[in-house]
Amino acid sequence: MQPLLTLSFSVQQAIAEKKPILAMESTVLTHGLPFPKNLEILQTLEDICRKLAVEPATIIILDGKIHIGITQAEKEILQHKMESGEDIQKFGMRDIPYATAYKKSGGTTVSATMLLAYKAGIKVFATGGIGGVHRFWNETLDISSDLKALAEIPVIVVSAGCKAILEIPATLEVLESYGVPVLGWKTDEFPAFYSRTCGKKIDRIENAKDIAVIYNAMLKLYPYPTGILVANPVPEKDEIPYSKMDKYITAAIAAAKAKNISGKELTPFLLADLAEKTKGQSVQSNLALLKNNIIIGAQIAKELQ
Ligand code: PSU
Ligand code: MN
C-alpha cells in the first residue's frame, strides 16, 4: 500500500528541523481564480510565506496522490493539465477517498484542506474565504461542508471571512452552534471578503500570540476540539464596498438559478460571474486578501512552533 499522504521534500525537511509550516488551500486557485493568473498567484503566495521563514505546504490532489506541499515539477504538471483542459475537480472533504481510488486531480476546499493538514500534523492554514450557508438555504439545504470541518477538526483557518454570496448571519449562527471560535484580526466585525465589514460583531484579537493561547486553551477544554476561524479583513485600499458588490451578487445568484446551477458548481460559477461583472476588480481584491492572510497565517505558524 502506498502512503496516504505525499509530503514534499521541503515539507519533510521543515518537519525534521521543526520549522513552522503554513498549509495553503488549492480550490481557491483551481476554481476561485482564472487560469493562468492562478498559477502566478500560487507562486507569489508561496514566496511571501518563505520570505517570512515559514514553509508553505500547498495541499492538492494530482492523479489521486494527496500532496502536502508541491514541487516545481508538480506545478508544471498542474499547469499542463489546466492548459490541456483536463478535468481539474473541486474536492470537498467527502471527495478525497473517491479521488484517491479513481486517480482524480483537483483542488481541495477549506474542508478537505483542514482534514489533510490535520493528518499531516499542520495546525494552521490560510485561504481566501470559507464556504458557509448559502442564500435560499431553506429551499436548497446548501450548507458548505467547510462548517462541518470547522466543527470537527482542530486546525486554525485564516480567512477574510466569508463571501457576501453567502447568508452571512446564518453562517455565523451555525459556527456558534458548533462551538467554533470566530476571531477578528484587529477588528470587532466579521469581514465579508471583498468588504471589511458586514455589521456582525465578533471577538477581537490583537496578535498571533493570543491566538496560540486561545487554541491551546481550546485543546485542553473541549472534549472534541473544533477549528478556529480567524477573520482578517481585506486591506482598505483593495476593498470593494458591500453596497457595490451586493447588486452583482444578487444578479449572479439569479443567473445561477436560471441555469439550474447547484451543489459544488455553485460557488465557482458565482465567483467567475463576479470577476466578469467587476472587470477583474474582484480578482484584484481576492489576491490582496490572500496575501494578507498568508502573512497572518505565517505569524500564527511561528507562534505555534
Ligand atoms: N470562497 C471564496 N473563494 C473560493 C471558495 C470560497 O471566496 O474559492 C472555495 C473554497 O475552497 C471553499 C469552497 O472551501 O469554495 C466552498 O465551496 P462549497 O460552498 O461548495 O462548499
Ligand atoms: Mn454546497
144 and 65 housed in the same domain: no
User: Which of 90, 104, 123, 163 is an active site residue?
Assistant: 163
132 lines ligand 1 (CB under 6 A): no
Closest by alpha carbon to 22, among 127, 124, 158? 124
26 lines ligand 1 (CB under 6 A): no
Domain count along the chain: 2
Q: 243 is written with which cell numbers?
A: 453596497
108 lines ligand 1 (CB under 6 A): no
pLDDT of residue 164: 82
Residue 163 bears catalytic tag: yes
Mutate to test the pocket of ligand 1, among 163, 267, 270, 273 (most ligand atoms within 8 A of CB): 267
Closest by alpha carbon to 106, among 271, 283, 264? 264
Average pLDDT over residues 267-274: 93
Whole-angstrom distance, CA of residue 52 vs CA of residue 295: 8
Which of 72, 106, 122 corresponds to the end of one domain?
A: 122
pLDDT of residue 243: 86
Q: What is the mean pLDDT of the chain?
A: 96
8 and 47 housed in the same domain: yes
Instruction: Please state whether the peptide bond connecting residue 36 to the residue before it is cis, i.e. omega within 30 degrees of 0.
Output: yes
Q: What is the CATH number of the domain that holds 104?
A: 3.40.1790.10
219 and 135 housed in the same domain: yes
Share of the chain above pLDDT 90, in %: 93
pLDDT of residue 163: 84
Model pLDDT for residues 127-177, shown as the tens digit of each residue: 999 999 999 999 999 999 999 999 999 999 999 999 888 999 999 999 999
User: Nearest residue CA, atom 16 of ligand 1?
Assistant: 131
264 lines ligand 1 (CB under 6 A): yes
Number of the ligand 1 atom closest to the C-alpha atom of 142: 19
pLDDT of residue 1: 64
246 and 164 housed in the same domain: yes
Average pLDDT over residues 7-29: 97
User: Which of 25, 46, 55, 239 is an active site residue?
Assistant: 25
Q: How far is the CA of 55 from the centre of ligand 1 (A)?
A: 24
86 and 235 housed in the same domain: no
85 and 217 housed in the same domain: no
90 lines ligand 1 (CB under 6 A): no
Nearest listed ligand to the Cα of residue 130: 1
User: Nearest residue CA, atom 17 of ligand 1?
Assistant: 131
Model pLDDT for residues 63-109, shown as the tens digit of each residue: 999 999 999 999 999 999 999 999 999 999 999 999 999 999 999 99
Nearest listed ligand to the Cα of residue 146: 1
Spell out a b/e string for 92-116, using b for 16 or more CB atoms within 10 Å of the CB, else e.
bbebbeebbeeebbbbbbbbbbbbb
135 and 241 housed in the same domain: yes
146 lines ligand 1 (CB under 6 A): yes
Mutate to test the pocket of ligand 1, among 38, 110, 136 (most ligand atoms within 8 A of CB): 110
55-62 and 105-108 strand pairing: antiparallel
Which of 76, 96, 122 corresponds to the end of one domain?
A: 122
Mutate to test the pocket of ligand 1, among 27, 253, 266 (most ligand atoms within 8 A of CB): 27
136 and 198 housed in the same domain: yes
Nearest listed ligand to the Cα of residue 268: 1
115 and 13 housed in the same domain: yes
Whole-angstrom distance, CA of residue 305 vs CA of residue 104: 34
32 and 168 housed in the same domain: no
Closest by alpha carbon to 126, among 237, 236, 28? 28
Residue 117 CB contacts under 8 Å (≥ 6 apart), including other chains: 23, 57, 59, 68, 123, 124, 125, 155
Number of the ligand 1 atom closest to the C-alpha atom of 27: 11
The phi, psi pair for 204, rounded to 5°, reads -95, 140
160 and 11 housed in the same domain: no
Whole-angstrom distance, CA of residue 37 vs CA of residue 208: 30
Closest by alpha carbon to 93, among 227, 222, 215? 227
Average pLDDT over residues 20-40: 94
Q: The domain containing residue 114 runs over which residues?
A: 1-122
Q: 242 pLDDT band (50/70/90 cuts)?
A: confident
Whole-angstrom distance, CA of residue 54 vs CA of residue 123: 13
Which of 75, 96, 122 corresponds to the end of one domain?
A: 122
285 lines ligand 1 (CB under 6 A): no
pTM greater than 0.75 (yes/no): yes
Q: How far is the CA of 54 from the centre of ligand 1 (A)?
A: 25
Model pLDDT for residues 208-221, shown as the tens digit of each residue: 999 999 999 999 99
3 and 47 housed in the same domain: yes
